[in-house]
């Protein structure tokens, strides 16, 4: 097994200390930091996403793998200043919408998006439309990812989109929504740009919106 394959497997297995050690080893051997993202981190997290879709991995395994990938990205990001690969695929304001305090799904989506090259601005839970608007403006975000696990707060997703429109920011952001009670038809009805039924789907959606 080559070094890159070994690093990928360590991420998939959620072995953060091993990932850190192998990342440092690769750099010491002259591997360019910019090569590790497309050849190690993104393929590894793609495989994690596939296993989640196929019910081979569940939330604990996905969280552990995402954290393991951070062991590499935390080392690599400072080394990539000025490198094309350091430019994020997009800046995502990520949150659980106002009225909902559940964060596991939101955390998984945020970590998988980050591992796929997106910059994350995590507003946490119970995020109001006003807070979302302020974050989009401050961080020049081009994505908003909102989740809800309860049905009642879902109306605040619509309110957030309306607030972005009223602030003149709707044109600069793609809005993605997800969570257990959220559906594709609901996403369309409130004017969102897309719906992700799970974290891998959210990553795929974000990539497609970048390419659009």
3-class DSSP state of 8: helix
Q: Residue 84: pLDDT band by 50, 70, 90 thresholds?
A: low
Distance CA 161, CA 169 (A): 9
For residue 40, give every residue at least 6 positions away whose Cβ sits within 8 Å of its Cβ, in sequence order, or none: 4, 7, 8, 11, 72
Distance CA 49, CA 40 (A): 14
Of 21, 112, 7, 23, the residue nearest 76 (C-alpha): 23
Q: Mind listing the pLDDT tens digit for each residue in 113-146?
A: 888 888 899 999 999 999 999 999 999 999 999 9
Contact 1, 9 (CB under 8 A): yes
- pTM for the whole structure: 0.80
Question: Residue 115 has what DSSP assignment?
Answer: H
CA 201/CA 8 separation, integer angstroms: 21
pLDDT band at residue 81 using 50, 70 and 90 as cut-offs: low
* Top-confidence residue, 163 or 197: 163
Q: 61 is written with which tokens?
A: 């395994």
| pLDDT value of residue 158 | 97
């Amino acid at each position: 097994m080559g070094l890159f394959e070994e690093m990928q497997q360590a991420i998939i297995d959620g072995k953060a200390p091993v990932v850190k050690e192998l990342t440092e080893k690769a750099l010491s051997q002259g591997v360019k930091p910019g090569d590790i993202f497309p050849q190690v981190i993104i393929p590894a997290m793609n495989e994690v996403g596939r296993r989640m879709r196929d019910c081979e991995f569940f939330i604990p395994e996905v969280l552990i793998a995402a954290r393991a990938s951070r062991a590499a990205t935390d080392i690599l990001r400072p080394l990539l200043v000025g490198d094309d690969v350091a430019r994020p695929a997009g800046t995502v304001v990520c949150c659980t919408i106002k009225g909902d305090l559940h964060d596991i799904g939101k955390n998984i989506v945020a970590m998988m998006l980050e591992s796929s090259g997106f910059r994350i601005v995590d507003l946490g839970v119970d995020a109001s439309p006003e807070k979302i608007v302020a974050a989009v403006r401050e961080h020049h975000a081009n994505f908003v990812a909102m989740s809800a696990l309860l049905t009642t707060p879902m109306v605040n997703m619509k309110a957030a989109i309306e607030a972005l429109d009223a602030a003149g920011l709707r044109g600069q952001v793609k809005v993605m929504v997800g969570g257990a009670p959220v559906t594709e038809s609901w996403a369309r009805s409130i004017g969102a740009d897309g719906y992700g039924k799970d974290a891998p789907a959210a990553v795929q959606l974000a990539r497609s919106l970048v390419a659009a």
